[in-house]
Structure 1
Amino acid sequence: MVLGKVKTLAVCFDYLNDNNVPVYSGGDSVSGRVIIEVTGEVRVKTLNITARGVAKVRWTESRNAGANTAYTQNYTEEVEYLNHSDTLIGEERDEDSPEEALTVLNTGLHEFAFSFLLPQMPLATSFEGKHGSVRYWVRAELYRPWLLPFKVKKEFTVFEHIDINTPLLLAPQAGTKDKTLCCWFCASGPISLSAKIERKGYTPGESIQIFAEVENCSSRVVVPKAALSQTQTYFAKGKARQLQQQMAALRGDTIPQGKSQSWDGKLLHIPPVSPSILDCPLIRVEYSLVVYVDIPGGLNLSLSLPLVIGTIPLHTFTNRTSSISSYCSTISWPERPEAPPSYSDLLVTEEQRWGCLERCEGSEVNEEDQGTLRAYITEFRYQPPPLYSEVDPNPEPGCGGQEVRRPDLCPSR
């Protein structure tokens, strides 16, 4: 008897984004299919899937301890966010046993659906770095009698959403620094730098408006610059290791001595970068806008403004609210408001009331409604307001109808 062969074993996800990449977040349902293509007749014991999510950190440090001796220390840590398994064909796999029931797959394509829920807790965003990573995947394992298992793994992406429409991330960021250059024989004037941005939170694809002022009172020619900096921090065994990268940069014009330069909303575009990772115990990914003055032959004057790269962009109504607020601040309101109308202007005269009755009698309503309406209008009178009295006509229990000199001593109804 000629046994069949497995041509294809693949994992496909049902939900894909615009780039055909499966993207999920905490609490979402992950669903998909395991596709098996066979030729001939294939006997299967079990088909299992395993979903896992792991944050892993690893780096090595070496130290020389003498002429010919080197000391090497490995730092490794791992945190598990997801561990789910399910059996799509057969029962839980056991050692090869003739009593196990087998499932026969004939020639063609066979699909087996799967689904599971991601944990409701905050999950670390998928990330790939030099010394660590955060990965999520689904592994399918096909077991057949007397043959090695057939395995395939497919990764999916998890985003821990960061909404930049929060008061903390919408707050402006600003700072000021100055520096004086000097040497053994001379001293020059200071170089001052001030910078401001509209908010702290941004999303990839946006541009940061930079407002900056640089004053060069030194004897050197300097250049203002700005850069988007990413800082990756890895933690393992009580130690930390950092890696900094420049993701985007821009350059201003040179500033001769005694001159100054202003940036009135100079734009720095944010490229496609990983969102900030702030809650993972092993990996942190942080961003900052570094505005600095490049000083030839000296240390740069640098100013760092913290940033958070989020996943939920700025709402349109937020921009509209800020524009309305700025518009209202420019309106010149009258110094004194208009006085309200007097009570006599609102008083209904007897002629107006009888005119209302005549109009009601001429309208097309039944006699019962006319009588009710006439009785209501006849009885209704606009009486003048009661005269003011310092004695409360309806005193609270315990007040005894005493004179009310202060409202807080005996509040009236």
Structure 2
Amino acid sequence: MTIQNFSIEYDAINSKNIFSTGDNINGRIVLEVSKEIQVQALIFRAQGQANVCWHEQHGQNVHMVYTSKEKYYNVEHHILPTRPYGTDVIGPGKHVYPFSFKIPESNFPSTFKSSVGKIVHKLKAELKQSMKMTKMAKTHITFVSPADMNIPGLLEPQHGSRDKTISAFGSGTVAMDVNIERLGYWQGNTAGWGCCGL
């Protein structure tokens, strides 16, 4: 086989290997060939999209399948220039093509997967050669949408009280009074709260 390795990799920017809006992703496309090849184009793509598919039974004889797709972004960089009528010659050995891109600033949904659909954020590489099928390499990233703290009430202090009558190992009433400085928190916040049992 002439192409021994065609893959795409990226560098983590934190210990949890997650990304969010506005983050820069750096990585590389690796192409290893055993002999000289001719290439029409090498393209990097970053895509965010949602796909859903579910089935519904209407009566005994009607089975409906519903599908939908929504694209959030599609970033494209030509690593090697596209040559519709010409080619670039790549010699034998391992070749590494770096890439860098910024996740667009927008309110995209987080990575998600269920039995009826998924939201994926992926990096792809496409190797185009004359008279051959396009070779693809891809990897997924975990994208977490930043919390929207502009929802009314999320930054307001909260208070709650509760009385509970118990009868295990004796009987009596337990009362709890809880105060927190706000309703909404995002990852990494420390909650400030107070609790008083009466």
For the aligned pair, the TM-score class normalised by the smaller chain equals: 0.7 to 0.9
Q: Deviations over 1:182-222 (max 9, x none)?
A: xxxxxxxxxxxx4xxxxxxxxxxxxxxxxxx4326xxxxxx
Q: Secondary structure at the match of 2:154?
A: helix
Counterparts of 1:336-347 in structure 2, within 5 Å, are none
Question: Which of the pair has the greater relative contact order for Cα pairs under 8 Å at 6+ separation?
Answer: 2
Matched, 1:172 2:158: yes
2: CA distance, partners of 1:261 / 1:78: 55
Distance 1:174 1:59, change over 3 A: farther
Which residue of structure 1 lines up, in the alignment, with residue 128 of structure 2?
Answer: 143
Higher Rg: 1
Within the candidate set 188, 210, 215, 2:165 is matched to 215
Q: Which residue of 1 aligns with 2:65?
A: 74
Aligned to 1:182: none
Residues 22-75 of structure 1 deviation map (CA, whole Å, 9 limit, x = unaligned): x221122222211111112122111112221012222212132xxxx3222333
Match of 1:314 in 2: 189
The Cα offsets for residues 166-195 of structure 1, whole Å up to 9 and x where unpaired, read as: 9725633647xxxxxxxxxxxxxxxxxx4x
Gaps spanning 5+ residues in structure 1: where?
95-99, 176-193, 195-212, 217-254, 266-306, 327-413
Distance verdict in 2 for CA 1:39–1:311, change over 3 Å: farther
C-alpha distance 140-33 of structure 1, shift in aligned 2 (>3 A): same
Amino acid at match of 1:42: I
2-side partners of 1:263 and 1:39: how far apart?
A: 75
- Of Structure 1 and Structure 2, the greater strand share is in 2
**Aligned 8 A contact 1:53 1:80 in 2:** yes
What amino acid maps onto 2:129 in structure 1? Answer: R
Check the 8 A contact 1:163/1:312 in 2, yes or no.
no
Tell me the SS of whatever aligns to 2:106: coil
**Partner residue of 1:45?**
40
- Structure 1 runs of 4+ with >4 Å offset: none
TM-score (norm 1): 0.40
Tell me the residue number matched to 1:8: 5
Query: Residue in 2 aligned with 1:87?
Result: 78
- Identity within the alignment, %: 22
Q: 1:117 aligns with which of 74, 83, 102?
A: 102
Alignment of 1:280-299 (within 5 A): none
Change (3 A) 1:260 1:24: same
CA distance in 1 between counterparts of 2:53 and 2:13 reads: 31
**In structure 1, distance between residues paired with 2:41 and 2:51:** 30
Match of residue 18 from structure 1:
15
**Correspondence 1:134 to 2:119:** yes
Q: Structure 1: how far apart are the matches of 2:30 and 2:112?
A: 28
Partner SS, residue 187 of structure 2: coil
Question: In the superposition, relative to structure 1, how do residues 168 and 311 fare at CA in structure 2: closer, same or farther (>3 Å)?
Answer: closer
Give the structure with the higher percent helix. Answer: 1
* Alignment partners' CA distance in 2, 1:63 and 1:260: 55
2:6 partner SS: strand
Shift of 1:263: 7.9
What displacement does 1:163 show?
Answer: 7.2
Question: 2-side partners of 1:128 and 1:260: how far apart?
Answer: 47
In 2 relative to 1, CA 171–102 (structure 1 residues): closer, same or farther, beyond 3 Å? same
Match of 1:168, SS state, is coil
Alignment of 1:183-262 (within 5 A): 194=162, 213-215=163-165, 255=167, 259-260=171-172, 262=174
CA distance 1:215–1:31, shift in 2 (3 Å): same
Query: Does 2:93 correspond to 1:108?
Result: yes
Q: CA RMSD in A?
A: 3.2
- Structure 1 partner of 2:50: 55
Assess if the C-alpha contact under 8 Å between 1:49 and 1:88 holds in 2. yes
Q: Distance in 2 between matches of 1:79 and 1:147?
A: 30
- In structure 2, the gaps of 5 or more residues are 178-182
- Cα distance in 1 for partners of 2:132, 2:103 equals 33
Q: CA deviation at 1:79?
A: 2.3
1:127-165 per-residue CA deviation (whole Å, 9 max, x = no partner) reads 11222221100111112232222111111121112277x
Give aligned pairs, total: 187
Relative to structure 1, the CA distance from residue 56 to residue 260 in structure 2 (aligned partners, 3 Å threshold; closer, same or farther) is: farther
Q: Normalising by structure 2, what TM-score?
A: 0.77
